[in-house]
Structure 1
Amino acid sequence: MAVARKFSDQLDAFCQMAARMADLHNAEAILFLTERPTEWDKLQAAVGDHALIVAADSEDVLAGSEDAQFDTVVLSVPDLPVYEQLTEALLEAVADEHLAPGAPVVAVYSGFESDTIDSLSLIRLGEHLGRLTIRDLKQLGAKVPTETLKSVVDLAVSIGREGREGKPVGTLMVVGDHRKTLTFCKPMGFDPVRGYPVSERMLSDGKVREGVKEIAQMDGAFVVSAKGTVVAACQHVSAPPAELSISKGLGARHWAAAEITRATSAVAVAVSESNGTVRVFLNGEVVLRIEPFRRAMKWKDFENEPPPATPAEKERDKDKDKEKDKEKEPEKAE
């Protein structure tokens, strides 16, 4: 179990500043992002009457918070940069109906030094998360279990944000009503998941999610059952044409997503290759759009100039150059 953080004077000061900022901007809640547990009763007292949401990357960190009067969020993707942890926490809070999609929120977190609360931000969800349209996540899960849909959307967001090996990747995942969906599908060649037992095709398994990211680089769609099993991959989806109205500029992948969700009760999740935007389709319509998060940083070796040569190395190089010049001279006739 994680070691509890002492509720220091600095933490108390940041929480009180967050409460004042929340009053000033009519924030709906204060988000507290933490790496380890703290004295929950003092935390609640420090923010006063404001709604408090505590986010952490594991249940252990939230241990002992059951008696406190605030909402909790467990991040599904730990070890991300702080910006992306905040984004994930806000998305989870919207999905769990702790926050309205366009609400202003004050965030308190460790921005610079790990395990030290040192940053305070005002976040307007409408600007930060992109646009939520038509229905919320709970309504989206009407015919697909919310946990399955959430797992697929999280995976799609990860693909849209990271791509694969530095290259953008687009893909399509059709979730639920898989038997009827398969009647509108045909393999585009080799199906990488065919023949594997069900236990090795569950999206709840981290190895399977990584495998999906790899397969996403290939053409075709994934078909996922309502229970979260990858039923088929690399599928060409061709549902009957229907009268649809989707935004201009969306390609064949998005049209296929709209058509298959009009012909079945499935939910389709499409990732745009051009910009990583994730769109969720239901009954032929875009019901949720998530803009890509900030791209994951890639480390590169620092390119610096080599140290200057020593006098001995310079002299040796001169001798080598002279030898090369002699080899280039034409042989003299005897």
Structure 2
Amino acid sequence: MNISGNLASKFRRKQMNQVFLQSAMQISAEMKPDSVVLCTNSVLDETLLTELKEKHRLIMVTNDANRCLQLLDSGIAIEHYSKKSDVQEDLVRDIVFMLLNSKQITESSTILFLYSKNDWDCFSQILYLELGNIAEANYLKSLSSLTHIAPLQILETVIEIALELCREGREGKPIGTILVVGDHKKVLQSSRSLVFNPFKGYTIRERDILKQEVRDSVKEMAKIDGALVISDRGIVQAGGQYLDFRATDIQVGPGLGSRHTAAAAVSRGTTCMAVAISESTGVVRAFVNGEVFLQINPRQNSPIKL
């Protein structure tokens, strides 16, 4: 065991954290953010923390449950980041979403972030954010009202898959399809297979959309006719489904056809979110209760709650 090497590494991390905290003091004095968010598991310099806490609202984010307990009496707002996934996510975006959900910040907050994507014990990046200029803040706030359908992480992942289908497409064009998440038993009761179910016979783990390889499979299966049906736990139940729901009085707007009508109808007939991708424009529309709930144009990167 290289004890001296480990001690040297810990000392360097401690030094690095102090440098970043000192930089945060200078930047926050100039920019005056609403909150300073420290994403770390490390024990930080008490003097610098106290100074930051006196001048700014301080939020500590840790992915270590034990560290959360240690900080309970610190007088600092504490958040436990517990997201676990094989998919490489944008850490800052995920934490912004989490803080919005817990009401630690608002859509108009300005935030100074200290974090590292790969090492929760040593800061490596500083980022100043004005959430009022970030469309995703409103996008997540919209999805967070749908957690009766599925957990936020599942809803977000389904939207991300839809956006990837638009951007990656086929032969330079978006792939038109429908992704249905939530209330899968009722959805399948009123659906019929257009093709042999490509997900039949696989284990739950092999159908979990939080796994990158499953996301890739979903994107491949989206190329076949019919909708993909996903449970509220993020488990793909079936592909190639014809959604046979009554479309009486469904109005999806000018220029939108049978795919969007089917998505609206299934969302009205069940407790689900149905995401329809327009093959012609690439616009992603999420339907809830028979109406467009969220519309995203990935080319403009502009999520809009309707």
Common fold: TM-score over 0.5: yes
Pairwise CA RMSD: 4.1
2:163 corresponds, among 160, 163, 168, to 160
- Change beyond 3 A, Cα 1:227–1:80: closer
Indicate yes or no: 2:115 matched with 1:122: no
Aligned mates of 1:293, 1:43 — CA distance in 2: 43
Deviates more, 1:190-199 or 1:234-243: 190-199
The CA deviation string for residues 127-147 of structure 1, in whole angstroms up to 9 with x for no partner, is 3426449x74443122x242x
Structure with higher Rg: it is 1
Distance 1:48 1:88, change over 3 A: same
Q: How does 1:132-151 map to 2 (within 5 A)?
A: 132=139, 136-142=142-148, 144-146=149-151, 149-151=152-154
Identity %: 26
- Give me the TM-score of the superposition, normalised by structure 1: 0.65
Deviation at 1:39, TM superposition (A): 2.0
> Distance between the aligned counterparts of 1:223 and 1:79, measured in 2?
20
Pick closer, same or farther for the CA change 1:166–1:174 going to 2, 3 Å.
same
Q: 1:10 aligns with which of 19, 25, 30?
A: 19
User: Which structure 2 residues correspond to residues 92-103 of structure 1 after superposition, within 5 A?
Assistant: 92-103=98-109
**C-alpha separation in 2, matches of 1:203 and 1:244:** 30
For residues 312-331 of structure 1, the aligned pairs below 5 Å read none
The structural deviation recorded for 1:72 is 3.9
| Aligned residues of 1:185 and 1:235 also touching (Cα < 8 A) | yes
Displacement of 1:79 after TM fit? 8.1
Counterpart mapping for 1:103-252 below 5 A: 103-109=109-115, 117-129=124-136, 131-132=138-139, 136-142=142-148, 144-146=149-151, 149-161=152-164, 163=168, 168-198=174-204, 200-246=206-252, 248-252=254-258
Aligned residues of 1:177 and 1:226 also touching (Cα < 8 A):
yes
Q: Structure 1 or 2: larger helix share? A: 2
Offset, 1:116: 5.5
1:64 counterpart = 2:84: no
In the other structure, the counterpart of 2:5 is none
- The answer to whether the 8 A contact 2:86-2:212 is kept is no
C-alpha contact 2:87 2:212 (8 A) present in aligned 1: no
How far apart, CA to CA, are the structure 2 residues paired with 1:155 and 1:221? 13
User: Are the structure 2 counterparts of residues 153 and 140 from structure 1 closer, same or farther at C-alpha, using a change threshold of 3 Å?
Assistant: same
**What amino acid sits opposite 2:20 in the alignment?**
L
| CA pair 3-33 structure 1, distance change in 2 beyond 3 A | same
**3-state SS of 1:6 partner:** helix
How far does residue 193 in structure 1 lie from its aligned partner after superposition?
0.7
4+ runs of 1 displaced by more than 6 Å?
none
Aligned pair count reads 279
Structure 2 CA distance for aligned equivalents of residues 290 and 254 of structure 1: 14
Give the structure-2-normalised TM-score: 0.69
| Residue 90 of structure 1, CA deviation | 2.1
Name the amino acid aligned to 2:67: G
Distance 1:119 1:165 in 2: 38
